[in-house]
Structure 1
Amino acid sequence: MTFTVTVQPSGRSFSVERDEPILAAAIRQGIGLPYGCKDGACGTCKSRLLEGRVIHGVHQHKALSVEEEEGGFTLTCCAAPQTDVVIEARTVAGAGEFPVRKMPTRVTTIERPAPDVAVIKMQLPANDPLRYHAGQYVEFILRDGSRRSYSMANAPHTQGDKPWIELHIRHMPGGKFTDQVFGGMKERDILRMEGPFGSFFLREDSTKPMVLLASGTGFAPIKAIIEEMQFKAIARPAVLYWGCRSKADLYLHDWAIQAAHDIPNLTYIPVLSEPKPEDAWTDRTGFVHQAVMADLPDLSRHQVYACGAPIMVESAQRDFVAKCGLPEEEFLADSFTSEADKHGD
């Protein structure tokens, strides 16, 4: 049995198999809906159910509360239709543009720019570049079938004749995948991955000034977006705020300084929340989203790209909209939800 999902206000329709989440069917058919984690944890795919009935799978209450569900909202990533349904959701131009594919990848280099961060370059099949938007992510398929998501840190055009992607991976002690990365992974290891996924990428139809907001390894997709801006000579004003605990956590600090030097319309502002005495830090301190608010109290004409820890993304979205006048639809985010975030409320 299949059901029909209609998306308003675009009017686009697509079919969904019985017990299949709406989002999975949309991705399979190239329909561009907004989404992030695909696991009911981030809330990016939250939409209004206008007609019909769905059953929700497991999800976090912070992503969709009981009150919101009773009020007619749904998470498309874990909502399976029980009838034909109509949802209200922004369609994201380009989100379904590139086919989702499975492919093998080979580790070519592993660097450790910080004690708990690995920058890994992965070789893709020869003459077969991965087509994606800067800001999107791939999922690694582990031996037991579980998956781990990481954003590409290089823009698509950098792949060249020998396709490759760059990933920034923070060690999460006890993590099934990151323990492997920081323990036994070595050059020439082969992994299996699938992608691209996600609706977090540059909206090129906008001319608004941009705030690029990153915490920790949330810098990875922001780096790809900056490379894309430079490659396409996008002249919109952009300010990069990168928040970390200490200076060592700014693992590509020199890269960001150089990018701001090379791109006339880009400014770089690093912010440390817990600088160490040996950092001799004289620049900005505190929470990174509050640094944005201090500098830009009026965000009503801006567009924000935020990526990193869920607490940072949630705080920024709440405060930028409520206190700085940012239109809700201009807050674009990729919340780096860990497995603990996905399975604990």
Structure 2
Amino acid sequence: MTFHVTVQPSGRAFDVPTDETILSAAMRQGVGLPYGCKDGACGSCKCKMTEGRVAHGEHQDKALSADEEAAGFILTCCAKPQTDVVIEARTVVGAGEFPILKIPSRVSALTKVAPDVVVLKLQLPANNTFGYRAGQYVEFILRDNSRRSYSMASAPQAVNSEIELHIRHMPGGKFTDHVFGALKEKDILRVEGPFGTFFLREDSDKPIVLLASGTGFAPIKAIIEQLRAKGINRPAVLYWGARVKADLYLHDWAEQAAAEMPNLRYVPVLSDATPADNWSGRAGFVHQAVMADLPDLSGHEVYACGAPIMVDSARRDFTARCGLPADAFFADSFTSEADKNKSP
């Protein structure tokens, strides 16, 4: 049995089998609904259901609270329709532009850029047709068929023969222990993608705030490379937050990009600088540095990526205190497997 799902205000409609989530069916049929983790942990796919009934799978309370669910909100990534359904959600132009592919990739370089961060470069098959938008991510398919998600840190090229990813070591993590232990050049890894609706909206001319914490810098780096490659001259400022200076693992790259791109500024921010850092730059929480410099964000777009607490704080404070329109905040919250596996 299938049910009919209608998306307002766009009027897009598609059918969903009873055993499939709304998001999965939308992606399969090229309907660009917003989403992030696909695991009920980040809340990026939350929208209002105005008609119908769904059954929700497991999800995190922070992604969808009981009060929100009672008020008619759903997570399309874990909601399976029980009747025909009407939802209110913005459709994301370009989200289904590139087909989702499963491809083998060969490790071409492993570079340790911080004590707990590796830049991993993957060579794709010579005949590949893999395409993506800067900001999107791939999933590694592990031997037990579990998956781990990482954003591309390099902008798409005319022929994507290589992609770059930034991997932070999570001690005890099934995948990152392997990356920081046994993985070596020429090893083969299986990836699938592209996924995600976090990418630059090129139909806008608004000034851009790029906000990153930790390895949330990866998709932001890809967006900066895209701005440069396409000659997009919108004013942009990069705020990169970390605990100590070593965590700004591509600080020199960011400084050089800002020096070479007249419309890009770079503001690094440390929350726990040590005397050894000899730090004379900005201190504190990175999203608060944005608010101090740009108290009026009403005419901006914000692209935020990193730890959930940073993304959530920025979304709340920028919209409530700096006048940022809710639909001008684009985010990718880096939820770990530990976050996803917490009891709902």
For 2:288, what is the secondary structure of its paired residue? helix
Q: Look up the match of 1:110.
A: 110
Q: Look up the match of 2:200.
A: 202
Q: Find the aligned partners of 1:343 and 1:301 in 2 and give their Cα distance.
A: 38
Task: State the one-letter code of the partner of 1:156.
Answer: P
Shift of 1:17: 1.2
1:34 has 2:34 as partner: yes
Cα deviation, 1:151-201, whole Å, max 9, x if unaligned, reads 0000001x64x7010000000000010000001101111111110000000
Q: Find the aligned partners of 1:106 and 1:17 in 2 and give their Cα distance.
A: 36
Q: Find the aligned partners of 1:103 and 1:28 in 2 and give their Cα distance.
A: 18
For 2:192, what is the secondary structure of its paired residue? strand
Residues 255/129 of structure 1: CA separation in 2 closer, same or farther (3 Å cut): farther
For 2:134, what is the secondary structure of its paired residue? coil
5 Å-filtered alignment, 1:27-106, equals 27-106=27-106
Shift of 1:19: 1.8
Shift of 1:257: 0.4
Q: Look up the match of 2:149.
A: 149
Counterpart selection for 1:322 from 314, 320, 323: 320
Q: Find the aligned partners of 1:286 and 1:130 in 2 and give their Cα distance.
A: 40
Task: State the one-letter code of the partner of 1:261.
Answer: A
Q: Find the aligned partners of 1:4 and 1:306 in 2 and give their Cα distance.
A: 34
Q: Look up the match of 2:173.
A: 175
Shift of 1:129: 4.1
Q: Find the aligned partners of 1:212 and 1:333 in 2 and give their Cα distance.
A: 10
Q: Find the aligned partners of 1:247 and 1:191 in 2 and give their Cα distance.
A: 31
Task: State the one-letter code of the partner of 2:259.
Answer: H
Shift of 1:127: 3.0
Cα deviation, 1:233-260, whole Å, max 9, x if unaligned, reads 1111000000001110100000000100
Task: State the one-letter code of the partner of 2:145.
Answer: G
For 1:193, what is the secondary structure of its paired residue? strand
Counterpart selection for 1:299 from 297, 300, 306: 297
Shift of 1:103: 0.6
For 1:200, what is the secondary structure of its paired residue? coil
For 1:177, what is the secondary structure of its paired residue? helix
Cα deviation, 1:279-300, whole Å, max 9, x if unaligned, reads 1000001000000000001111
**Kept after mapping to 2: 8 A contact 1:129/1:163:** no
Shift of 1:84: 1.0
Q: Find the aligned partners of 2:199 and 2:234 in 1 and give their Cα distance.
A: 15
Q: Find the aligned partners of 2:63 and 2:27 in 1 and give their Cα distance.
A: 20
Q: Find the aligned partners of 1:33 and 1:329 in 2 and give their Cα distance.
A: 14
For 2:330, what is the secondary structure of its paired residue? strand
Cα deviation, 1:23-56, whole Å, max 9, x if unaligned, reads 0111111110100000001100001001111000
5 Å-filtered alignment, 1:230-241, equals 230-241=228-239
Task: State the one-letter code of the partner of 1:271.
Answer: V
5 Å-filtered alignment, 1:176-191, equals 176-191=174-189
Unmatched runs of 5 consecutive residues or more in structure 2? none
Task: State the one-letter code of the partner of 2:219.
Answer: P
**Kept after mapping to 2: 8 A contact 1:21/1:78:** yes
Unmatched runs of 5 consecutive residues or more in structure 1? none
RMSD over aligned Cα atoms: 0.9
5 Å-filtered alignment, 1:273-312, equals 273-312=271-310
Q: Find the aligned partners of 1:321 and 1:168 in 2 and give their Cα distance.
A: 29
Q: Find the aligned partners of 1:5 and 1:119 in 2 and give their Cα distance.
A: 41
Task: State the one-letter code of the partner of 1:61.
Answer: D
For 2:174, what is the secondary structure of its paired residue? coil
For 1:103, what is the secondary structure of its paired residue? strand
1:2 has 2:2 as partner: yes
Task: State the one-letter code of the partner of 1:191.
Answer: L
Shift of 1:11: 0.2
Q: Given the two structures, how large is their TM-score scaled by the length of structure 2? A: 0.98
5 Å-filtered alignment, 1:125-140, equals 125-140=125-140
Q: Look up the match of 2:335.
A: 337
Q: Look up the match of 2:267.
A: 269
Task: State the one-letter code of the partner of 1:296.
Answer: L
Identity %: 73
**Kept after mapping to 2: 8 A contact 1:129/1:164:** no
